[in-house]
Amino acid sequence: MTTTPVAAAGPTTARLRALVTAVRETVDRGLAPGPTSRLVAERIAPHLGAPDLLTPEQCAPDPVHYRQHVLHAEPDGSFSVVAIVWLPGQSTPIHDHVSWCAAGVHRGEEHERRYQLVPDGTSARLVATEDVVNRAGEVAAFAPPGDIHSVRNSGDGTALSLHVYGADITRLGTSVRRLYRLPAGR
């Protein structure tokens, strides 16, 4: 698996600290993954596009791969907040996740293709089920299983999204559970 550079957490802003507090209160409710991810997405939405959310360093891209800046990892491992910066043309492989996730586009737009794993005789294949364009200010929420997708910056400018995962990404090193190299079609 190709790894994407992960930048260490640095200074935070007051707005980011407020978001972390709101996420903590939501996660501490102890709800199932689906409702938790949807409620966390609602907490992210008001902060998207705000110029005081991230520092300039937390918005820095990598010229080769999309870049992940871990902004916060909850000490008990219950969630992490990550900024992902995408230059034009950067993308993920097809993958799923280790935990629930809520994400929102802070700047630019992301093109997402969602897939379903379908049995095919003695093996399986992927079927593309939906193409979604996530624009600045929009949020999405998902929880495994059934969270297979790929994401790409197909635009002309830098895209930046904020992700909250229900796991400690600093301990795991990634939010990805599995990469899919199966045949994919419509």
Does a structural domain hold residue 2?
no
Q: What is the pLDDT of residues 100-132, one digit of tens each?
A: 999 999 999 999 999 888 887 778 888 899 999
Q: What is the pLDDT of residues 52-63, one digit of tens each?
A: 999 999 999 999
- The overall average pLDDT reported for the chain is 88
Place of tokens 């609602």: 42
Does a structural domain hold residue 61?
yes
Place of tokens 């790929």: 150
pLDDT at 83: 96
If we measure between CA atoms, which residue out of 92, 59, 21 comes closest to residue 69? Answer: 59
Distance from chain centroid for Cα 98? 12
Tally of CB atoms within 10 A around 144: 16
The one-character DSSP state at 91 is B
- Domain extent, residue 114, equals 12-180
pLDDT at 11: 65
Does a structural domain hold residue 6?
no
pLDDT at 8: 47
Does a structural domain hold residue 36?
yes
pLDDT at 118: 86
From the number of C-beta atoms within 10 Å of its C-beta (0-12, 13-18, 19+), residue 60 rates as: middle
Query: Number of structural domains, the chain?
Result: 1
CATH number at residue 170: 2.60.120.10
From the number of C-beta atoms within 10 Å of its C-beta (0-12, 13-18, 19+), residue 102 rates as: buried
Does a structural domain hold residue 131?
yes
What parts of the chain have a pLDDT lower than 70? 1-11, 182-186
Contacts of 121 (CB under 8 A, 6+ apart): none
Does a structural domain hold residue 79?
yes
Q: If you count them, how many residues does the chain have? A: 186
